[in-house]
Amino acid sequence: MQKRWLSMTAVLTAIALVAAACGGGGTSGTTSTPSGAAATTAATAVGEVIIASDLPTSGADASSGLPTQNGAAFAIAQTKSYKGITITFKPFDDTVNGVHDPQKGAQNVQQMLSDPKVIAMVGPFNSNVARAEIPIANQGPLAMMSPANTNECLTQTFPYCDPQPAALRPTGKNNYFRIAAPDTVQGPAMADYIIKTLKLTKVAVFSDNETFGKGVADNFVKRLTATGGVLTNRSDFDWKTTNDFKPFINAAKAAGAQAIYAGATSATKACIVRSQMQGILDVPFTGPDGIGDDQCLKDSG
């Protein structure tokens, strides 16, 4: 996760370079052509290549996914061809019932791989969707460039990662890239801000228990406690079934929490918690980039 509003032109340029790398060269000691190279060659032969996107573009996640999809579409419209090869854009929506869904994302990647003209994709937006997609795209291979994934275990090896990054890449080659800083940076940064700038030490933490939300909350807590802060209480909710967050809020108040950290996104009800704090607990409400949107303002009341 999660929101990194960067130039989609730069993203697509990087994707084009990555796609070329993925499509060229075979395994050492063989003369066979990898399926990805064959796909790229076939696409080039007919004079057209497709850059796809896989993003949450409907429901609660639309405020995140649609601007990214529109940016990708605009960038490709600005560069309709390259050396005589037509470049087109094909968007996919990875939501089910308005919520980003790893299985839907995996199905979308399978569909991309069935079309030899598709050489690369922008996305996904959510880290748990990426975890489901990377192993499939890796065997294509299909170049992936995410503008928003931040879970560190997608690219970095730590003892607690399950699965490890290598397990997501069955071919042993890398086809996945991201341009957002990992949660090992984002979570600790907010902990530093709370302690050093706000001069607060007692924090209550909750997460949506998803790959991104739980991961960024874990990293926040590690830095908080390592720098003298106190975790007053923590809850990892099943956000799909939880609507009443007042027990968590009341527990935070009873424990003397001076701030709340949300390891979640607007789409996973992070800011509903903020609205339910009214009249109970009046402290700073903080979180990752996943709450930096208009939906959070609306949900906060």
The reported pLDDT for the residue numbered 141 is 83
Alpha helices in 79-167 (DSSP H): 102-113, 127-138
* Positive/negative CA dihedral, 4, 182, 133, 61: negative
Q: Which residues have C-beta within 8 Å of that of residue 163, sequence separation ≥ 6?
A: 131, 153
The reported pLDDT for the residue numbered 301 is 86
pLDDT tens digits for 132-150? 999 999 999 899 999 999 9
The reported pLDDT for the residue numbered 200 is 99
Distance (Å, whole) CA 79 – CA 84: 11
Specify whether domain 8-178 bears CATH 3.40.50.2300: yes
* Segment 249-252 long-range contacts (CB within 8 Å, at least 24 positions apart): 249/273, 249/276, 249/277, 249/280, 249/281, 250/280, 251/204, 252/204, 252/281
Note the Cα 130 to chain centre separation in Å.
7
The reported pLDDT for the residue numbered 293 is 86
Smallest Cα–Cα separation from 122: which of 140, 141, 145, 105?
145
pTM: 0.77
Q: Backbone phi, then psi, for 274, in 5-degree steps?
A: -60, -40
The reported pLDDT for the residue numbered 24 is 40
Residues paired with residue 55 on neighbouring β-strands, in sequence order: 93
Distance (Å, whole) CA 191 – CA 176: 29
Which residues of the chain form beta strands (DSSP E)? 48-55, 81-82, 85-93, 95-96, 99-100, 118-122, 143-146, 176-178, 202-207, 230-236, 259-263, 285-286
Query: In a 10 Å sphere around its CB, with 0-12 CB exposed, 13-18 middle and 19+ buried, how is residue 142 labelled?
Result: buried
Smallest Cα–Cα separation from 261: which of 301, 173, 201?
201
C-beta neighbour count of 171 within 10 angstroms: 14
Q: Per-residue DSSP letters for 250-292?
A: HHHHHTT-SEEEEES-GGGTHHHHHHHTTTT--S-EE--GGG-
Bond into 67 cis (ω within 30): no
Angle between helices 127-138 and 102-113 (to 10 degrees): 30
According to CATH, the topology of domain 183-299 is: Rossmann fold (3.40.50)
The reported pLDDT for the residue numbered 185 is 93
Note the Cα 124 to chain centre separation in Å.
6
Kindly give the parts of the chain with pLDDT less than 70.
1-46
Sequence ranges of the chain with CATH classification 3.40.50.2300: 8-178, 183-299
Residue type, 120: A
